[in-house]
């Protein structure tokens, strides 16, 4: 409760040694990988409900001729048992996704926010996962009423108005996931629904998706096995098929797709980003380094790479880098729509 | 944003298949296991700061002759790399720990709350991890002020007053952890500091601690290894030494220690709880089933087992089972203090 203890943070990743550099770049998934994956794994039970909600949302905004962005956010988990008590997690608080969603909303997009449950959400992110507890914003007035502290009033009013605006106009659809299976089934579903609006759809894939998973045929009903000898535990995982290529080729072939590449070594960031572009044949990779991702990113396309950076004044003023990233992405989306219209798509 | 989507929860564990039943019961840790573990692993860098805070807190309450409880809460992670981007997690929202801490505070205890960072906290838990966003409690008044909605006023005032009381009187010390290493180093530190107040200290160990870990000698600097063949990933884990015995024997031998046993099969719950009591030689195991843990628990001691259950009226009225558990534990703690005084401890 004393502010002292808030100085200790136990979950900060070590930026000098955080990215798995020697993993091979897995090949892009093929139709057969897709067939196998979606045939061998059960869809989440709630998927039909999400399907209905997504269809209604897309239909509503399509009639209003509003562009729609799918923002993915947060890390996926890989359950090691037929439950979610023990799992492998890819850490991501969801800051990039939640913040970007706000700027898409401010720029007139409707947003489907496909997010890890309990990761940061647009607007409420300003009051979650912080060192401040919700109750620290509150005070008891002389007549026994709970009030928002005067010092937080101004900022909170701005956030609250934007939140209510999005809510009132049905501009934000929250769709949760936890496991990598849930993520992939839901991504495919939403992509296929969005393909209806073609080039007006934008995919902004900021989620941290697991590289490995335990095929359901190998997930034991009650437990992970311990080796007979010495009580060791051996977990044997398969690579997750790289479905980005399926998104580009088949699920939503006319939409613009943006993916992210997170590295720690500046000297290979652009090369790796170009590699992803070539492998998946999509429009834009936004490269970023773990240590500087809140200050600068690089836009990598087939024929250019261009840094987008906060100025030192902007850093001082706590400007979100997403307030620069999102308008740039929107410009590229507009060009992409224009080009596709020219060829009749 | 529409309430519809809040009906979908993606992270609910499957209570019919959630506990790892066939794992062997690992033996209690011996002094040599303790030596090896704490010698071979580096303590968290921030530990000296926590040590100072904990010592000040204990000293403050010792002078006031106030009893102190250490409540542990949330699940530990096992990093698979030298960073926390990819890790194995033991899921626990921290409801039991955060709620129990509130009732200890209401019953006059000072509380050291050793919790997984971003898991539920006492008091703020009422407004976190819920389907409601923080901003849903707020409304804009006619004169452009952010206000707490009238319907939430009464309940929030009760919570705010308790929170401010604990804060003002320095009754709650928040200490975070994320990894199992951080948890074990911090637990040992706090136990040794608490041993100063002897039988006035109570350990209420509600955290879900990982069974397995990756020894730091085997954690690669940059990554987990992928097998050459087929891009598989094999993770090879060791059992975490069962340090509860060291807590009882050496770190805080005069204090009362309460641990939890979570199962899914009612027929073995009491047997397993008795087994833990015999193995570690502590005072109380609180057994609970995943499917009914919010309605009933069983107090297992060397010579008795006794269920503590909410009545159907209490369930209807959303009474916390912790409001029954904590006073019962406090009674046992009082008897334990009495007994130890008789023998001069």
Per-residue model confidence as pLDDT tens digits over A266-286: 888 999 999 999 999 999 999
pLDDT of residue A16: 52
Taking an 8 Å cut-off on Cβ atoms, the answer to whether A88 and B87 are in contact is yes
- Tokens in use for B215? 């020894």
Where b means 16+ CB within 10 Å and e means fewer, B6-40 reads eebebbebeeebbbbeebeeeebbeeebbeebbee
- A20 interaction partners in chain B (CB closer than 8 Å): 81, 85-86, 222-224
Q: Which residues 141-170 in chain A show a CB within 8 A of chain B?
A: 144-148, 152-153, 156-157, 159-161, 163-164, 166-167, 170
Q: Which residues 280-309 in chain A show a CB within 8 A of chain B?
A: none
ipTM over 0.95: no
Average pLDDT over residues B283-296: 94
- B129 interaction partners in chain A (CB closer than 8 Å): 118
Residue B171 near residue B32, CB atoms below 8 Å: no
B85 Cβ under 8 Å from any chain A Cβ: yes
User: Burial of B193 by CB count in 10 Å (0-12 exposed, 13-18 middle, 19+ buried)?
Assistant: buried
Is it the case that residue B230 has pLDDT exceeding 80?
no
* C-alpha span between A255 and A249 (Å, rounded): 10
Is it the case that residue A115 has pLDDT exceeding 70?
yes
Task: Write down the domain spans for chain A.
Answer: 25-283
* C-alpha span between B327 and B104 (Å, rounded): 8
Q: Give the pLDDT band of residue B229 (cuts 50, 70, 90).
A: very low
Residue B44 near residue B181, CB atoms below 8 Å: yes
Taking an 8 Å cut-off on Cβ atoms, the answer to whether B11 and A178 are in contact is yes
Return the number of CB contacts < 8 Å for A and B: 294
- A171 interaction partners in chain B (CB closer than 8 Å): 1
Element (H, E) at B324: helix B322-342
Average pLDDT over residues A253-258: 95
Taking an 8 Å cut-off on Cβ atoms, the answer to whether A83 and B166 are in contact is no
- B46 interaction partners in chain A (CB closer than 8 Å): 8, 10
Look at A126-140, A212-226, A257-271, B37-51 and tell me which has the smallest mean pLDDT. Answer: A212-226
Q: SS3 for A343?
A: coil
Q: Give the pLDDT band of residue B227 (cuts 50, 70, 90).
A: very low
Sheet containing strand B138-140, strands side by side: A138-140, A146-148, B146-148, B138-140
Residue B250 near residue B276, CB atoms below 8 Å: no
End-to-end CA distance of chain A: 58
Taking an 8 Å cut-off on Cβ atoms, the answer to whether B147 and A144 are in contact is no
pLDDT of residue B24: 61
Q: Which residues 32-61 in chain A show a CB within 8 A of chain B?
A: 44, 46, 49-50, 53
Top residue of A83, A158, A167, A213 to mutate, by most chain B CBs within 10 Å, is: A83
A8 Cβ under 8 Å from any chain B Cβ: yes
Q: Among all residues of chain B, which has the CA nearest to that of A74? A: B85
- A237 interaction partners in chain B (CB closer than 8 Å): 232-235
Minimum distance, in Å, between the CA of residue A335 and any CA atom of chain B: 30
Q: Which residues 256-285 in chain B show a CB within 8 A of chain A?
A: none
Contacts of A296 (CB under 8 A, 6+ apart): A288, A289, A307, A308, A309, A310, A321
- The strand pair at A110-116 and A77-81 is best described as unpaired
A319 Cβ under 8 Å from any chain B Cβ: no
Average pLDDT over residues B88-95: 83
How many residues does this entry show for chain B? 345
Q: Which residue has the tokens 């089934």?
A: A185
Minimum distance, in Å, between the CA of residue B248 and any CA atom of chain A: 24
Is it the case that residue B123 has pLDDT exceeding 90?
yes
Q: Give the pLDDT band of residue B7 (cuts 50, 70, 90).
A: low
Minimum distance, in Å, between the CA of residue B335 and any CA atom of chain A: 30
A218 Cβ under 8 Å from any chain B Cβ: no
Percent of chain B with pLDDT over 70: 85
Which DSSP state fits B79? E
Q: Give the pLDDT band of residue A290 (cuts 50, 70, 90).
A: confident
Taking an 8 Å cut-off on Cβ atoms, the answer to whether B117 and A11 are in contact is yes
A117 Cβ under 8 Å from any chain B Cβ: yes
A312 Cβ under 8 Å from any chain B Cβ: no
Q: SS3 for B167?
A: helix
Residue B219 near residue B82, CB atoms below 8 Å: yes
Q: What topology does CATH give the domain A25-283?
A: Rossmann fold (3.40.50)
A247 Cβ under 8 Å from any chain B Cβ: no
Q: SS3 for A66?
A: coil
pLDDT of residue A214: 74
Q: How many CB atoms sit inside 10 A of residue A312's CB?
A: 9
A175 Cβ under 8 Å from any chain B Cβ: yes
Question: Which of A134, A159, A222 faces B22 most closely, judged by CB atoms?
Answer: A222
A345 Cβ under 8 Å from any chain B Cβ: no
Q: What topology does CATH give the domain B25-342?
A: Rossmann fold (3.40.50)
Is it the case that residue B161 has pLDDT exceeding 70?
yes
Q: Which residue has the tokens 């309605």?
A: B295
A213 Cβ under 8 Å from any chain B Cβ: no
Where b means 16+ CB within 10 Å and e means fewer, A262-271 reads bbbeeeebbe
pLDDT of residue A162: 97
Q: Give the pLDDT band of residue B225 (cuts 50, 70, 90).
A: very low
A331 Cβ under 8 Å from any chain B Cβ: no
Residue A120 near residue A208, CB atoms below 8 Å: no
Look at A178-187, A199-208, B127-136, B199-208 and tell me which has the smallest mean pLDDT. Answer: B127-136
Question: Which of A2, A10, A144 faces B177 most closely, judged by CB atoms?
Answer: A10
* C-alpha span between B283 and B336 (Å, rounded): 9
Q: Among all residues of chain B, which has the CA nearest to that of A225? A: B23
Residue B106 near residue B148, CB atoms below 8 Å: no
From the list B305, B299, B258, B297, the residue with the least C-alpha distance to B280 is B258
| E-strand stretches of B168-322 | 172-177, 201-205, 212-213, 233-239, 256-263, 284-289, 296-300, 305-309
- The strand pair at A83-90 and B296-300 is best described as unpaired
Taking an 8 Å cut-off on Cβ atoms, the answer to whether B87 and A86 are in contact is no
pLDDT of residue B274: 95
Look at A171-180, B123-132, B180-189 and tell me which has the smallest mean pLDDT. Answer: B123-132
Encode pLDDT of A138-156 as tens digits. Answer: 999 999 999 999 999 999 9
Average pLDDT over residues A332-344: 93
Positive or negative, the CA dihedral A18, A23, A27, A33 is: negative
pLDDT of residue A218: 58
Taking an 8 Å cut-off on Cβ atoms, the answer to whether A17 and B221 are in contact is yes
């Amino acid at each position: 409760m004393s502010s002292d203890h808030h100085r200790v943070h136990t979950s900060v990743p070590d930026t000098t040694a955080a990215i798995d550099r020697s993993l091979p770049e897995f090949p892009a998934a093929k139709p057969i990988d897709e067939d196998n994956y979606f045939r061998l794994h059960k869809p989440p039970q709630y998927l039909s409900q999400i399907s209905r909600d997504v269809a209604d949302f897309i239909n509503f905004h399509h009639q209003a001729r509003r562009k729609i962005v799918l923002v993915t956010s947060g890390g996926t988990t890989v359950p090691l048992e037929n439950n979610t008590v023990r799992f492998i997690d890819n850490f991501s608080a969801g800051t990039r996704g939640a913040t970007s969603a706000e700027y898409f909303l401010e720029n007139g997009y409707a947003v489907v926010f496909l997010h890890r449950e309990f990761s940061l959400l647009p607007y409420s992110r300003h009051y979650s996962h912080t060192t401040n507890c919700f109750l620290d914003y509150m005070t008891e007035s002389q007549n026994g009423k709970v009030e928002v502290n005067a010092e937080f009033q101004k900022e909170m009013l701005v956030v609250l108005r934007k939140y209510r605006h999005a809510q009132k106009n049905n501009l934000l659809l929250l769709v949760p996931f936890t496991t990598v299976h849930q993520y992939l089934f839901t991504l495919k579903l939403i992509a296929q629904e969005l393909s209806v609006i073609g080039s007006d759809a934008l995919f902004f894939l900021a989620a941290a998706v697991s590289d490995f998973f335990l095929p359901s045929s190998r997930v034991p009903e009650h437990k992970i096995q311990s080796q007979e000898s010495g009580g060791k535990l051996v977990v044997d995982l398969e690579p997750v098929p790289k479905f980005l290529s399926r998104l580009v080729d088949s699920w939503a072939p006319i939409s613009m797709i943006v993916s992210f590449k997170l590295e720690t070594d500046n000297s290979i960031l652009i090369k790796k980003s170009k590699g992803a572009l070539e492998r998946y044949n999509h429009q834009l990779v936004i490269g970023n380094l773990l240590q500087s991702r809140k200050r600068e990113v690089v836009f990598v396309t087939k024929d250019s790479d261009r840094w987008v950076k906060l100025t030192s004044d902007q850093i001082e003023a706590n400007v979100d880098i997403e307030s620069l990233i999102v308008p740039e992405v929107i410009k590229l989306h507009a060009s992409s729509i224009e080009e596709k219209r020219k060829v009749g798509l």
